[in-house]
Structure 1
Amino acid sequence: MITNLVLATTLALAPSPGFSWSVQPSGPDGPTGRDYFSYSAAPGDTIRDTVGITNRGAEKMTFKVYATDAFNTSDGSFALLTADRKPDDVGSWIALAERTFTVKPGKRVDVPFTVKVPENATPGDHSGGVLAAVTQQETTGGGQKVNVDRRIAARLHLRVNGPTTTALKVDRITASHEGPLVGDRTVKVSYRVTNTGNIRLTAKAHVYAEALFTWPQGTAADREIPELLPGSSYTFTDEITGVLPAGPLQAAVRLTPADPSELTPARLSATTRSITFWAVPWVVVGAVAVVALLLLRRRRPARC
């Protein structure tokens, strides 16, 4: 019995001994230096392009070439649908005249394809990839034969003309703190970022804490938010160190989005969300309790 196994899509060279290949945008005269396919088009447009597949291994290889849709994984990574899932977005708009190619070692094949944008395509970004897959039969440690499908892709981003919405939203935020009773605390802030617009976005996140009267607390955290496709979410956790337990505190996340395609000329507006939590100043509470106890004792009438 032979089992089919599809390995997760990778955008690097395939990690199989003796088998190595690359997939990149190409043209009539070979690779064009583009890192990925990027287009701007109107509904009804047709785009013609070429993908280059290079056999970097020592043996002849046969590739299955096809296109599919992209999505963000739970950790925010860019990924493509597995071969057993049918695309219903930009991957279904791409047509190739041929799908199977045999390439000698050290050689490249340039494969033309067309992208037909539907008349009813929605404005905004549509992301996918053009893949070259190789199926190899391998034997497991238990002696079972499996067909392993390894894939490498060139990313493809297509922006359909029309109204665009650029919106990143922090739709969930929590804050907790830990540390000694006396001294500074560490505040952990977890927050989920969702792309509620219709174009892919990256962002810079600034995570900070404040006490009453916007008194800055601790050392803020900064991070780069990876590219999020429309409708995708990812949860991050950052730490703010050196926070004084000053009673009611506010933890906040400020997102400054950016369009990685550079097709949006205007500067995008930042958005901020915050949450209030308590970091009890036990030293102060203890001191107040001691003072109160002493005052209470002083006020007690003397016994005869």
Structure 2
Amino acid sequence: MRHLKTTAAVVLALATTLLGAGTASAATDDVTWTVRTASNDLGDSRTSFSYDLKPGATLDDAMVVANRGNAPLTLKVYAADGFTTEAGQMDLVTKDAESIGVGAWVHAERASVLVEPGKTAELPFTVQIPENATPGDHAGGIITSLTQADSDETINVDRRLGIQIKLRVDGDLKPAVAIEDLSVGYQGTLNPAGKGSTEVSYTLRNTGNAILSGSAATSLKGPFGWFKVSAGQSGLPQQLLPGERWKVTGTIAGVVPSGRLSATTHLLPVITDAAGSTTSLPAISATTHAWALPWTLLLVIVALIALIVTAVVVSRRNRARRKAREDARVEEAVKEALQAQ
């Protein structure tokens, strides 16, 4: 008998503004279902769940599951904390991982649900904020999960569909972000008169208690502010949760190798409120320095200097040899004249 090995979260879709009108769907050869927010006093056709609650508050809401397949569908239901993936998007931790925020505060009325073909089921859940909850933004989601064996029955695949939950706990909102470990490295070119490129890397760390996004750019300049060049950084996350770090790397082309470079990264943080409106925060910056030397040109100059020095030395040696030969000839002529007397 072969043992089955489980792989978690192979398929996950979150209903957010990126997916349209709050609906996420998953399909296999024999299973199709969708999830969406319920229409109630909290809103209609919501793209996700978003709450602004006080510590100790309780709120009831619901998610709707629709079975688009031809067979009954039994799904597990649970909540989980959110995190930012390497692709810069939000994901949810697996069921076996510990949740200490949204995943621990959201409680589904049922741990599983049976949905008949072509039918829908409403899944109520309760949000309970602890009295000692940390003020600020918290992210997570409520998930429906289906575990199935793959075709060769060697692994189990956990397919999850969920709806994102953004929760802001009332209190002092202190959005803050830091640029850490900024470094630049110049890469030259074989063309002695050409320009090179600079590799830029740094880490963004959300040091506050609000979910942030933003845009960033790095500028380079040589001595006295000469040869300035700048470029925006891509690959920033759609959102960075409180306490998270994000590594940013990029390349700036057209850099003149002018000696000691000054590199400054500027970040414009953006905060989004519960209604989806964005507000820009004061920009922050970080500066570092690096050397950008035209090594090919320096090698050419060194080679030219070496040739000149060699030519001078050879010329002096040749003059010394000629003088020595002339002196020897004169000395020999004087000797012959003396002997002739």
TM-score > 0.5, shorter chain as reference: yes
- Tell whether the 8 Å contact from 1:255 to 1:270 is kept in structure 2 after alignment: yes
| 1:111 counterpart (101, 114, 123) | 123
Matched to 2:168, the amino acid is: R
Whether 1:20 aligns to 2:25 is no
Whether 1:281 aligns to 2:294 is yes
Cα-to-partner distance string for 1:109-145 (whole Å, 9 max, x where unaligned): 12111101111111011111000011223343xx54x
**Bigger radius of gyration:** 2
CA–CA distance in structure 2, aligned partners of residues 124 and 234 of structure 1: 20
What SS does the corresponding residue of 2:12 show, helix, strand or coil?
coil
Matched to 1:190, the amino acid is: S
Moved more, 81-90 or 109-118: 81-90
Aligned to 1:199: 210
Q: How does 1:1-304 map to 2 (within 5 A)?
A: 1-8=3-10, 10-11=12-13, 12-28=24-40, 32-140=44-152, 144=154, 146-181=155-190, 182=192, 183-223=194-234, 225-226=236-237, 227-261=239-273, 267-282=280-295, 285=298, 290=304
Matched to 1:208, the amino acid is: S
CA–CA distance in structure 2, aligned partners of residues 147 and 269 of structure 1: 48
Moved more, 159-168 or 214-223: 214-223
Cα-to-partner distance string for 1:10-52 (whole Å, 9 max, x where unaligned): 1253252232222222124998222211111111111111111
Instruction: Give RMSD over aligned pairs.
Output: 2.9
More helix per residue: 2
Matched to 2:266, the amino acid is: R
Matched to 2:33, the amino acid is: W
Q: CA deviation at 1:5?
A: 3.3
Q: CA deviation at 1:171?
A: 1.1
Report how many aligned residue pairs link the two structures.
Answer: 300
More strand per residue: 1
Structure 1, unaligned runs of 5 or more: none
Cα-to-partner distance string for 1:226-255 (whole Å, 9 max, x where unaligned): 211111111121111111111111222211
What SS does the corresponding residue of 2:110 show, helix, strand or coil?
coil
Cα-to-partner distance string for 1:205-242 (whole Å, 9 max, x where unaligned): 11221112233534513336221111111112111111
**Percentage identity across paired residues of the two chains:** 34
Structure 2, unaligned runs of 5 or more: 14-23, 324-341
- What's the TM-score once normalised by structure 1's chain length? 0.86
- What's the TM-score once normalised by structure 2's chain length? 0.78
Cα-to-partner distance string for 1:58-84 (whole Å, 9 max, x where unaligned): 332111111111122344332211111
Matched to 1:194, the amino acid is: R
